[in-house]
Structure 1
């Protein structure tokens, strides 16, 4: 009986050892895959990008949308805001009186704006008013959109949340401006290989900058394919360093 018990115990120990080895191998493989994926991302950028919201919807995890939500809008109060006078640095009043004009960030303006109970009314920023819409309709390529506001298209789409008789005209101007500038933006991205494009990019809206970078990335990929470099798969620097450390640990 003792011999059989010892044999069973030995078999059980071998099975446990085999399971531990398999688990360790699986963990090593997972670590290598994780390092490869993270390394591939770190070779190009420091964080995983999240696309901005489309149209009137924002993406909470997008850095561009977070910055967009802090764009300040001119508003006019439609009622008295008690005990909030300290928010107006130019006034010593205890309350914010009805009819006061101020600037509030987009996220707060959207939160306070109600169609049924009018707490405040939002005025159009000057870049979306009729005067500038005429300029955009004439020739949108002459306008420095980054100077006018780095989120021209996104903020314009957000302005459609607020009731305004000019909303149809704003939407039409946004569309025609994008169409009018799109071809020039993409042509420039395809014809500026290994050239300094800082002067061109600094005049673009954030959405146009993303399109420009996509065009440049496609051009670089095509050039690599022509040179026969597209099929060469190389390991990340993090994976190579990890392998070196493993080899050094195994050496006596």
Structure 2
């Protein structure tokens, strides 16, 4: 419930995933626009938003397929040079969706792939946030996921606050009590 009102979480759960129905379902013709009837047959492949696919998976009505952003092609590109891979076009909420979908699809390698991808890109994100000119930033930001953009903005604002402090921001003040001398004890 902590993320119930989080707009990023709501948008992330609207990502489309591919599922295969394990059982026939009646009264769900709207799920499959190409269907002529108001039902979905067992074994039908349908694209659903993640929130619905997750709920149907919990009820064992569907089996979820691995998303394209976690396939072998993407993994090879990340292994070659993670900092240059455009993850935003593949899935804007790459890490969060990966964490939620990994236990559902039964692919144990997704977790380690997410960790490798994040750790490979983390250094580059912070490096660009601290040193990149504002002209370079829009091009770099266009390949980052939403999570990485939050990290970039946090690093950028902390660097700006540090520079402001270093140039002459508020300094530590000496406590007034430190200026007084003690009276000798009799």
Candidates 85, 95, 98, aligned match of 2:29: 85
- Residues 81 and 150 of structure 1, relative CA distance in 2, 3 Å threshold: same
Contact 1:133-1:173 within 8 A present in 2 as well: yes
Distance, in Å, in 2 between the alignment partners of 1:135 and 1:200 is 17
Structure-1 residue corresponding to 2:162: 222
Contact 1:137-1:173 within 8 A present in 2 as well: no
Candidates 82, 94, 97, aligned match of 1:155: 97
Candidates 55, 61, 74, aligned match of 2:18: 74
Structure-2 residue corresponding to 1:242: none
How far has the Cα of 1:134 moved from its partner? 2.2
Distance, in Å, in 2 between the alignment partners of 1:140 and 1:196 is 18
Structure-2 residue corresponding to 1:37: none
How far has the Cα of 1:118 moved from its partner? 2.8
Structure-2 residue corresponding to 1:98: 42
TM-score scaled by length of structure 1: 0.63
How far has the Cα of 1:186 moved from its partner? 0.2
Structure 1: gaps (5+ residues):
1-56, 232-252
How far has the Cα of 1:230 moved from its partner? 4.1
How far has the Cα of 1:195 moved from its partner? 4.6
Is structure 2 residue 147 aligned with structure 1 residue 203?
no
Distance, in Å, in 2 between the alignment partners of 1:178 and 1:132 is 14
Structure-1 residue corresponding to 2:69: 127
Contact 2:31-2:46 within 8 A present in 1 as well: no
Q: Report SS of the residue matched to 1:211.
A: helix
Structure-2 residue corresponding to 1:63: 7
* Number of aligned residue pairs: 171
Structure 1 segments, 4+ long, off by >6 Å, are none
Q: Report SS of the residue matched to 1:103.
A: strand
